[in-house]
């Protein structure tokens, strides 16, 4: 039933009957307001920003159809949003089936849009396949104002919480064609209403890369630049996804000059791939289908990986860098240090799941495989020097992988001969169900000792670390297995690393980093997070990693004690406790006795922890590259840009 959510209520406990009176029907947009998470994922910041993406995606569809060249997105001072495009304008005539203005159909009826027909209908390819974008934004907004110019007339329409207000205002005005949609998210729906400029900028930059030549301008009227003008950025990339690869690699050292670009099309789909190797050790694959980021990959990524591995091996044997007796290079070997952007456009895109994060079209795999097989092979033939550089890097990666395998097997053999397979300094818990357990990775033996005495032994394990560990951003996997600081972490967690990592083998449901609140502690946290992101990514993706928040101060007055976790909180505590209070500044975790550490940092009833989440893989990759990579200038720039947040941090 389109536009209607049917809810099966509980069977009456009094009459034990179940009939038509137990079925609740939510008409039209009321269903969206009752269950917003079904349509935008959540009512948190993520859902708030998703509203903007829905409106922008409609304008992007106009660009894909060849009718829009510029999109303006404005964050207004009241945190409302205005999106303007110079496309054809939303149709405004009476809808032949519904008998009302098509404008109202688009904004008040679910699953209505120009994206359901064949290639001759409104749009040939589109991201918004469900046709719910405009109507969902309207339903979840306090108000929505729509302005449509057809070139001869201007149509304006206001909605409040999804309902049309009055009549459509029609004016005879000869203005350029286009659509302007303004909306203010509803505070009855969303937990927060503050838009983040950087989050929107990241998404809009992606769209500008994916649509070569399209101009997207983001403006924030809440903030001014040094010259007193509204904060703004113009996004325009004639190089398309080649520029995207250059952008991702801008803080890395490219292994060869130009970005390799190939494209092709077949019947109902088109694919383009841009790729460039760098001197790093991690692969970055970013894929899109109809401009939607496919974070879980899909058939386009599968086709690319298979063809790349095959082509590189065939070419390596052809030029005799791989001998007949040599094993083939693995997919992991040939993708080391590779940055690739894959963008496909499909007439009938099949996404797995409501979130549209994995592409399922089988014909796309065949197309991408064929493009890489034909055109990458031709590129290598025409650029033998680049080909040799790529193969040499892959062969070096293969040797490191073999060394890591030997080290891994040696570690297993040594463990089998010892009385226990767990690290000697690990204080394990008695509970074996990983869903109920947690491990604290603690900086230093002193803090580790307090944590061991203060913990709940049933479900809390403690692993002390000492000294600085390996910076894995600058190291291959073989170095990880030879590092005495990281090996205890790998062994304690029990799930392996890299391509062998298996969450099902994880011994603890929560991995909690507990380090001092100083520069050294921050460095250790960053090193550990880099390790988890590069070698145990599912830990972060599935929400297993946390950062403990020990207090900075203890305020005492007589027998009364209170803890403060930030400087701002300290001032509040001092005001509450009054004169005569004494302040103890904790320089490290080791200064707290076991009882204090339990009460403030380890007791699930009273502690505060930060969950490490992965909002955007591209941003995360860039951040780790900047902070932990070889280049100094990007790191200095990052610190200068973000230093202001340190003083304002209140977590």
Instruction: Write the DSSP symbol of residue 169.
Output: E
CA separation for the pair 88, 67 (Å, rounded)? 6
- Judgement on whether residues 65 and 192 belong to the same structural domain of the protein: yes
Please count the CA atoms within 13 angstroms of the CA of 293 that sit on its side-chain side. 15
pLDDT, one tens digit per residue, over 74-84 is 999 999 999 99
CA angle 57, 63, 68 (to 5 degrees): 115
**Number of structural domains found in the chain:** 4
pLDDT bracket for residue 311 (50, 70, 90) = very high
Task: Say yes or no to pLDDT of 172 above 80.
Answer: yes
Tokens of 647: 């003083």
> Is the overall model pTM greater than 0.85, yes or no?
no
Is the same domain home to 211 and 313? no
Secondary structure tally for the chain: helices H, strands E: 21, 23
Distance of CA 325 to the CA centre of its chain: 42
Which of 430, 432, 440 lies closest to 594 in space, CA to CA?
A: 440
Indicate if 503 and 481 belong to the same structural domain. yes
Q: Per-residue pLDDT for 295 more than 70?
A: yes
Which one from 61, 369, 443, 621 is the annotated catalytic residue? 443
Give the three-class secondary structure for 322: coil
How far apart, in whole angstroms, are the C-alpha atoms of residue 202 and residue 225?
Answer: 19
Q: Measured between alpha carbons, how far is 319 from 630 in angstroms, rounded to an integer? A: 33
Considering the domain architecture, whether residues 303 and 220 belong to the same structural domain is answered as: no
CATH code of the domain covering residue 271: 3.30.230.10
**Residue 484: CATH number of its domain:** 3.40.50.670
Same domain, 322 and 347: yes
Is position 637 annotated as part of the catalytic site?
no
**Residue 137 covered by a domain:** yes
Crossing angle of helices 617-628 and 632-648, in 10° steps, is 110
208 and 227 fall within a common domain: yes
pLDDT in tens, 598-643: 998 999 998 989 898 876 666 666 666 666 666 667 666 666 666 5
Q: Within a domain: residue 633?
A: no
Q: Are residues 229 and 147 in the same domain?
A: yes
Per-residue pLDDT, 116: 38
Q: Does residue 493 fall inside a structural domain?
A: yes
516 flagged as catalytic? yes
**HSE toward the beta carbon, residue 333, CA cutoff 13 A:** 22
Q: Is 478 among the residues known to form the active site?
A: no
**Domain-embedded: residue 8:** no
Reading the block at residue 454, the tokens are: 């203060």
383-396 pLDDT per residue, tens = 999 999 999 999 99
Residues 46-100: tens digit of each pLDDT: 899 999 999 999 899 888 888 999 999 999 999 999 999 999 999 998 888 888 8
Q: Is residue 161 part of a domain?
A: yes
The answer to whether 60 and 291 have CB atoms below 8 angstroms apart is yes
- Confidence check: pLDDT of 113 > 60: no
pLDDT of 183 higher than 70: yes
Bridge partners for 181 per DSSP: 83, 146
Nearest partner of 607 among 500, 429, 488, 456, judged by Cα: 456
Q: How far apart are CA 32 and CA 109, in angstroms?
A: 11
Same domain? 450 vs 598: yes
Residues 221, 230 contacting (CB under 8 angstroms): yes
415 located within any domain? no
337 with 460, same domain: the answer is: no
Last residue of a domain, one of 369, 401, 433: 401
Q: How sure is the predictor about 453, in pLDDT bands with cuts at 50, 70 and 90?
A: very high
Domain check: are 202 and 84 in the same one?
A: yes
Q: Evaluate whether residue 25 is within a structural domain.
A: no
Q: Which of 188, 258, 392, 520 is catalytic?
A: 520
Q: What is the dihedral of CA 222, 226, 228, 229, to 10 degrees?
A: -70
Comparing CA positions, the residue from 43, 45, 37, 57 lying closest to residue 198 is 45
- The vertex-404 CA angle with 401 and 405, nearest 5°, equals 90
Tell me the C-alpha distance between 218 and 201, whole Å: 7
Among 555, 592, 586, 565, smallest CA distance to 454 is for: 592
Token output for 344? 């496909």
**3-class DSSP assignment, residue 30:** helix
Mean pLDDT over each residue of the chain, to the nearest integer: 84
Whether residue 606 sits in one domain with residue 527? yes
Question: Quick check: 545 pLDDT over 60?
Answer: yes
Rg (CA), the chain: 28
Least confident of 302-311, 332-341, 529-538: 529-538
- The whole-number pLDDT of residue 525 equals 86
Domain presence at residue 389: yes
CATH number of the structural domain spanning residue 207: 3.30.565.10
Residue in 169, 253, 409, 518 annotated catalytic: 518
Tens digits of residue pLDDT in 484-508 = 888 889 889 989 888 788 999 999 9
Active-site residue flag, 160: no
Read off the tokens for 117: 């027909």
Which neighbouring-strand residues pair with 233? 218
Q: What pLDDT, in 10s, does the model give residues 2-12?
A: 333 333 233 23
Tell the residue number behind the tokens 């095959």, with chain if given: 310
CB atoms within 10 A of CB 198: 7
- Could you say which of 585, 603, 630 is where a domain stops? 585
Question: In which residue are the tokens 């894995």 written?
Answer: 472
Active-site option among 62, 186, 333, 516? 516
CA 167 to chain centre: 42
Residue 21: predicted pLDDT:
38
Are 112 and 190 found together in one domain? yes
How much is the pLDDT for 121?
Answer: 46
Domain extent, residue 517, equals: 421-550+591-614
Task: Please choose, from the candidates 284, 290, 335, the residue with its C-alpha nearest in 3D space to the C-alpha of residue 309.
Answer: 335
Question: CA-CA distance, 196 to 416, in Å (whole number)?
Answer: 52
């Amino acid at each position: 039933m389109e536009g209607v959510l049917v809810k099966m209520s509980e069977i009456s406990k009094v009459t034990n009957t179940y009939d038509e009176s137990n079925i609740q029907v939510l008409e039209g947009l009321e269903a969206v307001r009752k269950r917003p998470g079904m349509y935008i994922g959540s009512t948190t910041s993520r859902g708030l920003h998703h509203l903007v993406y829905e409106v922008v995606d409609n304008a992007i569809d106009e660009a894909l159809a060849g009718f829009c060249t510029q999109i303006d997105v404005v964050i207004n001072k009241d945190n409302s949003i205005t999106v303007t495009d110079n496309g054809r304008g939303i149709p405004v005539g009476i809808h032949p089936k519904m008998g009302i203005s098509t404008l109202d159909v688009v904004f008040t009826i679910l699953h209505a849009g120009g994206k359901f027909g064949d290639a001759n209908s409104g749009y040939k390819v589109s991201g918004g396949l469900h046709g719910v974008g405009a109507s969902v934004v309207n339903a979840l907004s306090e108000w929505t104002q729509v302005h449509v110019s057809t070139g001869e007339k201007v149509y304006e329409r206001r909605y409040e919480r999804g309902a049309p207000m009055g009549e459509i205002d029609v004016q005879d005005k000869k203005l350029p064609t286009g659509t302007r949609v303004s909306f203010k998210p509803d505070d009855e729906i969303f937990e927060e209403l503050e838009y983040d400029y950087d989050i929107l900028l990241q998404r809009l930059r992606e769209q500008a890369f994916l649509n070569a030549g399209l101009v997207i301008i983001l403006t924030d009227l809440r903030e001014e630049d040094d010259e007193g003008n509204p904060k703004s950025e113009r996004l325009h990339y004639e190089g398309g996804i080649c520029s995207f690869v250059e952008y991702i690699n801008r803080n890395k050292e490219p292994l060869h000059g130009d970005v390799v670009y190939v494209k092709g099309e077949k019947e109902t789909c088109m694919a383009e791939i841009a790729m460039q190797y760098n001197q790093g050790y991690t692969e970055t694959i970013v894929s899109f289908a109809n401009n939607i980021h496919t974070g879980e990959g899909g058939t386009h990524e599968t086709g690319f990986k298979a063809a790349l591995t095959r082509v590189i091996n065939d070419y390596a044997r052809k030029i005799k860098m791989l001998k007949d007796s040599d094993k083939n290079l693995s997919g992991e070997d040939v993708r080391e240090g590779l940055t690739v952007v894959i963008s496909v456009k499909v007439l009938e895109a099949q996404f797995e799941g409501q979130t549209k994060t994995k592409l399922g079209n089988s014909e796309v795999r065949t197309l991408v495989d064929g493009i890489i097989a034909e055109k990458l092979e031709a590129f290598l033939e025409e650029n033998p020097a680049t080909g040799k550089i790529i193969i040499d890097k892959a062969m070096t990666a293969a040797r490191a992988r073999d060394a890591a395998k030997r080290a891994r097997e040696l570690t297993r053999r040594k463990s089998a001969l010892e009385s226990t397979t767990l690290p000697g300094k690990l204080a394990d818990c008695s509970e074996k169900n990983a869903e109920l357990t947690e491990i604290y990775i603690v900086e230093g033996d002193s803090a580790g000792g307090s944590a061991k005495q203060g913990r709940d032994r049933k479900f809390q394990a403690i692993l002390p670390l000492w000294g600085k560990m390996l910076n894995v951003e600058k190291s291959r996997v073989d170095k990880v297995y030879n590092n005495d600081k990281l090996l205890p972490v790998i062994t304690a967690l029990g799930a392996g690393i890299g391509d062998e990592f298996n969450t099902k083998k994880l011994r603890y449901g929560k991995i909690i980093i507990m380090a001092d609140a100083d520069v050294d502690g921050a460095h250790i946290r960053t090193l550990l997070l880099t390790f988890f992101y590069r070698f145990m990514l599912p830990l972060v993706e599935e929400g297993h990693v946390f950062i403990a928040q020990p207090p900075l101060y203890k305020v005492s007055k007589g027998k009364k004690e209170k803890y403060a976790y930030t400087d701002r909180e300290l001032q509040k505590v001092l005001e509450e406790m009054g004169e005569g209070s004494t302040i103890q500044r904790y320089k490290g975790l080791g200064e707290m006795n076991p009882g204090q550490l339990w009460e403030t940092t380890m007791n699930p009833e009273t502690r505060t922890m930060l969950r490490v989440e992965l909002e955007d893989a591209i941003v995360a990759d860039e951040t780790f590259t900047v902070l932990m990579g070889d280049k100094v200038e990007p790191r200095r720039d990052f610190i200068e840009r973000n230093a202001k947040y340190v003083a304002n941090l209140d977590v």
